[in-house]
Amino acid sequence: MGIEVLDDLVSFFECSPAFISVPCEKLRRTQGPNFNKKIVNALMSLRSEMDKNDKKEALATCYDIIETYKETDCNPSQVRDKLAQGNLFAQLDTTAAE
């Protein structure tokens, strides 16, 4: 699982703003509710090659994906299962990204 997550993160960092939905959606599906707006903001802040407008467009796309998947977050057993699988973003400290 760890190698696949790294591959997904590399895809997120290398993807153009027009196609950011693909790696964003995959990260949201595989990482569950822990891949949220704070995580997207933190990851997007590392995309120094993007200008302000590209980042804004990419963030809007990712936010839409996160909102679409929010309805599946309501099942507590799904959330517990994801956390039990060693979810990468469940262990990430995002307090500095605020």
Residue with tokens 């299962």: 81
Q: Looking at the 3D structure of the chain, how many domains does it have?
A: 1
Q: How many residues does the chain have?
A: 98
Question: Global pTM?
Answer: 0.69
Q: What CA–CA distance (Å, rounded) separates 38 from 97?
A: 7
* Domain that includes residue 85, residue range: 2-97
Of the chain, the percentage scoring pLDDT greater than 90 comes to 55
Give pLDDT tens digits for 42-72: 999 999 999 999 999 999 999 999 988 876 5
Is 41 in contact with 59 (CB distance < 8 Å)?
A: yes
